[in-house]
Amino acid sequence: MRERLCPVCQVALKPQVHLGVTIDVCPACAGVWFDADELTRLHQLDDAILPRIDRLYQPEVVAYDPPWERLCPVCREPLRPYNYLYTSNIVLDTCDNCGGVWVDHGELEKMHRVLQDARAMDIPPEAKAHVALAEIEAESKQVQARAEFWRGLFDFLRARPRLW
Ligand SMILES: [Zn+2]
Ligand SMILES: [Zn+2]
């Protein structure tokens, strides 16, 4: 496996295991790389883990020239900045190729606060729409599964050899 490099400092990321999930932490800037779904998985296992990770790894003061373009540690493709939860003003970097996410040090703590606020009161309408969409999708899958079940049952009954 190729070495994973920090998109900011270009040094090798160090694998760190939390709750059975291996994340990649930069020993210099303390930014964290999450492979696709790792962020969601960790948050589902323990919704207070993000600020803990943020506090656990502290950046060292190193002089570097930040690159004009951040590259995915896995695919080496340029990362795309995006606004976490649409309107949080927390800018994360994602890889459209592998779905991983780069989080600068300090951002996990902010994400945690935004998530708590969103739960407490005002989820941005776009995020609400997103959640609603996900629910509709799950619902239609259930309907589909039910239809499939009945179809399967009828096929079974029709295929049964007659005993008379
Ligand atoms: Zn770094
Ligand atoms: Zn990638």
Alpha carbon distance, N-terminus to C-terminus of the chain: 65
pTM value?
0.72
- In this prediction, residues 78-82 reach a mean pLDDT of 93
Looking at every residue in the chain, the average pLDDT score rounds to: 82
Looking from the CA of 160 toward its CB, the CA atoms found within 13 Å total: 9
For residues 26 and 35, the answer to whether their CB atoms sit within 8 Å is no
Of 16-30, 81-95, 141-155, give the lowest mean pLDDT range: 141-155
Where on the phi/psi map is residue 46: left (φ > 0), alpha (ψ -120 to 50), or beta? beta
State the distance from the centre of ligand 1 to the C-alpha of 25, rounded, in angstroms. 8
pLDDT in tens, 19-49: 999 999 999 999 999 999 899 899 889 989 9
Residue 68 CA to ligand 1 centre (angstroms): 14
Which ligand has the shortest distance to the CA of 28? 1
Structure tokens at 106: 């300090």
pLDDT at residue 131 tops 70: no
- Report how far ligand 2's centroid is from the alpha carbon of 124 (Å): 28
Distances (CA, A) of 125 to 35, 90, 149: 27, 17, 36
